[in-house]
């Protein structure tokens, strides 16, 4: 029992990291001996000892160790419901995507990680290329997850989708002026486009889809055109692009849908007012469909609890979990379920690009080289 208490304590220390919008970390802990929240700058040496304690902790029966790059409080309901249904305790370690991947690789066969959860197919592809993912044999997952949203050999699965769309200022852009991603490179939008940096995995995947559909030359011409049309150097996250759009810094922006719905559902009247100034455009409805990406998960090849890991992945594909993805973080389900999210539902229906998402990942290295060549910072 003492060993179990020590292990769980180590997990909880790490999972208390709190993240702001757009995944900016606030190294904030709640002191167990005080009734109010205080902030502590966590020394590097203490963080290192904490993580080392987790890595060397004992393997516990009927537990599940999840390494997650999703920093959404709404996911707490997913873990709690899984534990309620199965009795399996979920221990969570949260961090940025790349540190999590590097950590699992460094831990090797001794890693306590059972499941990796991350966003964007590119990161799942990188994990697979690193050789750390195991094959999952599950008729449930094969039946419920569309083929283009999972690994062909069942080494990772998409459990929610997010569409990367075009937003415009209602009072400055007439309806129908923009219909496709290609329009963003038109010189008529010179100095009017807001977008985040080329290092954003969301932009890498978007350009990767263009490489897959239209070829490298057309993708590079588009990227060069967008750079020429930028209202300012790329900066901030998706929410920052929407705020700049509402503030008049640009007329057009690129962002994922769930950031927009987050504004519409906000308790802050100022944020709702930002959303009210913006109109959403579903791009490429007459051609390839709107670009979508995934948030997904995989079982680690050396998972100490493989049976529990598979049960958890199957739970994420259940109707109940899919509804939680939708209501909790404003994402689209991969299994048809009622949205139960009026603001998300208000966006309407759209035709999604059904390009195999692994293709997006494979094209990302070339996409980054294109961004570098055209000067997309």
> In whole numbers, what is the pLDDT of the chain averaged over residues?
86
**Confidence at residue 61, expressed as pLDDT on a 0 to 100 scale:** 54
Instruction: Determine the average pLDDT of the residues in 324-333.
Output: 95
Instruction: Determine the average pLDDT of the residues in 339-362.
Output: 94
3-state DSSP assignment of residue 94: strand
Determine how many CB atoms are found less than 10 A away from the CB of residue 345: 13
pLDDT, tens digit (0-9, with 9 covering 90-100), for 162-202: 999 999 999 999 999 999 999 999 999 999 999 999 999 99
Share of the chain above pLDDT 70, in %: 84
DSSP state of 16: T
Q: What is the DSSP annotation of 190-231? A: TT-EE---TT-HHHHHHHHHHHHHH-HHHHHHHHHHHHHHBS
Q: Yes or no: say if 294 and 104 are a contact pair by the CB < 8 Å rule.
A: no
**Confidence at residue 149, expressed as pLDDT on a 0 to 100 scale:** 96
Instruction: Determine the average pLDDT of the residues in 117-129.
Output: 92
Torsion, Cα 251 256 262 264, to 10 degrees, reads 40
Instruction: Determine the average pLDDT of the residues in 196-224.
Output: 96
At 49, the pLDDT band (50, 70, 90 cuts) reads very low
At 41, the pLDDT band (50, 70, 90 cuts) reads very low
As given in the structure block, the two tokens for residue 368 are: 């980054």
Instruction: Determine the average pLDDT of the residues in 97-116.
Output: 95
Residue 120: pLDDT over 60:
yes
Domain 2-160+293-343 matching CATH 3.40.190.10: the answer reads yes
As given in the structure block, the two tokens for residue 236 are: 């901030």
Instruction: Determine the average pLDDT of the residues in 15-22.
Output: 36
Residue 231: pLDDT over 50:
yes
As given in the structure block, the two tokens for residue 95 are: 């961090």
- CB-based contacts of 301, cutoff 8 Å, min separation 6: 131, 132, 133, 134
Residue 55: pLDDT over 90:
no
Tell me the domain boundaries of the chain: 2-160+293-343, 162-291+345-374
User: CATH homologous superfamily of domain 162-291+345-374?
Assistant: Periplasmic binding protein-like II (3.40.190.10)
Instruction: Determine the average pLDDT of the residues in 248-253.
Output: 98
Q: Which of 375, 298, 332 is nearest to 163 (CA)?
A: 332
Q: Do domains 2-160+293-343 and 162-291+345-374 have the same CATH topology?
A: yes
Q: Yes or no: say if 91 and 11 are a contact pair by the CB < 8 Å rule.
A: yes
At 114, the pLDDT band (50, 70, 90 cuts) reads very high
As given in the structure block, the two tokens for residue 74 are: 């709404």
């Amino acid at each position: 029992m003492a060993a179990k208490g020590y292990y769980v304590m180590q997990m909880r220390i790490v999972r208390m990291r709190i993240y702001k919008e757009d995944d900016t970390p606030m190294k904030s802990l709640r002191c167990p001996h005080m009734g109010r929240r205080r902030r502590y700058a966590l020394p590097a040496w203490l963080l290192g000892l904490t993580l080392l304690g987790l890595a060397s902790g004992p393997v516990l029966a009927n537990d599940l160790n999840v390494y997650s790059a999703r920093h959404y409080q709404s996911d707490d309901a997913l873990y709690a419901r899984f534990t309620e249904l199965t009795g399996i305790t979920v221990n969570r370690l949260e961090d940025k995507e790349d540190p999590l991947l590097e950590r699992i690789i460094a831990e090797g066969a001794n890693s306590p990680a059972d499941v990796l959860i991350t966003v964007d197919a590119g990161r799942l592809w990188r994990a697979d290329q690193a050789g750390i993912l195991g094959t999952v044999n599950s008729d449930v997952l094969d039946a419920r997850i569309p083929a283009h949203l999972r690994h062909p050999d069942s080494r990772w699965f998409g459990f929610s989708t997010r569409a990367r769309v075009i937003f415009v200022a209602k009072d400055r852009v007439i309806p129908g002026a923009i219909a496709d991603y290609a329009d963003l490179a038109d010189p008529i939008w010179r100095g009017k486009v807001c977008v985040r940096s080329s290092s954003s995995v969301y932009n890498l995947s978007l350009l990767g889809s263009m490489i897959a559909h239209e070829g490298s030359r057309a993708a590079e011409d588009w990227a060069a055109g967008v750079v020429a049309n930028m209202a300012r150097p790329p900066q901030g996250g998706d929410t920052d692009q929407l705020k700049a759009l509402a503030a008049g810094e640009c007329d057009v922006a690129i962002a994922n849908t769930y950031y927009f719905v987050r504004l519409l559902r906000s308790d802050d009247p100022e944020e709702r007012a930002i959303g009210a100034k913006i109109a959403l455009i579903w791009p490429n409805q007459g051609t390839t469909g709107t670009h979508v990406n995934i948030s997904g998960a995989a079982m680690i090849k050396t998972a100490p609890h493989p049976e529990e890991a598979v049960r958890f992945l199957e739970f994420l594909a259940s109707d109940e979990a899919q509804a939680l993805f939708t209501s909790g973080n404003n994402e689209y389900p991969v299994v048809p379920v009622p949205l139960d999210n009026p603001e998300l539902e208000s966006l309407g229906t759209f035709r999604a690009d059904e390009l195999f998402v692994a293709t997006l990942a494979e094209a990302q290295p070339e996409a980054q080289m294109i961004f570098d060549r055209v000067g997309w910072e």
